[in-house]
Copies of this chain bind each other. A is one copy, B any other.
Amino acid sequence: MAVDRLYALLERLGNLLRTEERAAGLRHGLQPVHLQALRYLQSCNRYSNTPAALTEYLGLTKGTVSQTLLLLEEKGLLRKQPDTEDRRVVHLLLTEDGRAVLKEALPPELFKRALSGLPGEGEVLEATLTGLLRALQTANAQRSFGACGTCKHFQREGPGRFRCGITKEPLSREDSQLLCREHEAVPPGA
């Protein structure tokens, strides 16, 4: 029974957020999925700003995402930059307009206000929901897209000096907070 109620709650919250996103995007002629794409591109790292990574993040097919990106590019909210190493790959970079739209639209004002009324700043809620999300993602064989600094390949070399164990490249403090498609959570008890 508690499972059913929790499911209903999450479903309803998801619907509400979508409705708000729809309203927020309407002002710019954007759909919910467009805002979600922009938000992802704003918070992912330089290894993860590609159509393929966005496809995995959104859980859609690559054809669908390709259309989404076409529209965003036409509107001038992002631009495509060919990868210098692998010429099949393009990188998606937000334009100033894209950043401006996001800043104006997300998260919705109503959400911020509703959240401010919650007790305790929501750290516990964030931790619980993260756990739930991880469980669902592993169950669906999906990637976690967590912050770089919480990955098991993240190496600390000194104060403010980090390195990625996969690419072997150095990482800044800002890098460590961005989402990565290669992210794997640190195994419990490490």
Contact = CB atoms under 8 A, between A and B. Distances in A.
A14 B21 CA distance: 13
B140 A59 contact: no
Contacts of A6: 115, 122, 125-126, 129
Give the number of times this chain occurs in the complex, counting copies.
2
A139 B110 contact: yes
Tier of interface size on chain A: 35 or more
Given A6-B122, A118-B128, A123-B2, A15 B111 contact: no
Contacts of A13: 10, 13-14, 129, 132-133, 136
B3 A107 contact: yes
A8 to B, nearest CB: 7
B136 A5 contact: no
Given A15-B59, A59-B16, A118-B132, A111 B39 contact: no
Contacts of A114: 132, 135-136, 139
B8 A39 contact: yes
Nearest to A32: B11
Nearest to A119: B131
A133 B106 CA distance: 18
Interface in A79-114: 106-107, 110-114
A7 B111 contact: yes
A24 B108 CA distance: 30
A75 to B, nearest CB: 21
Contacts of A107: 3-4, 7
A158 interface: no
A107 B4 CA distance: 7
B126 A5 contact: yes
Nearest to A11: B17
Given A3-B115, A8-B43, A10-B129, 8 more contacts: A6-B115, A7-B107, A10-B10, A10-B14, A13-B129, A13-B132, A16-B137, A114-B136
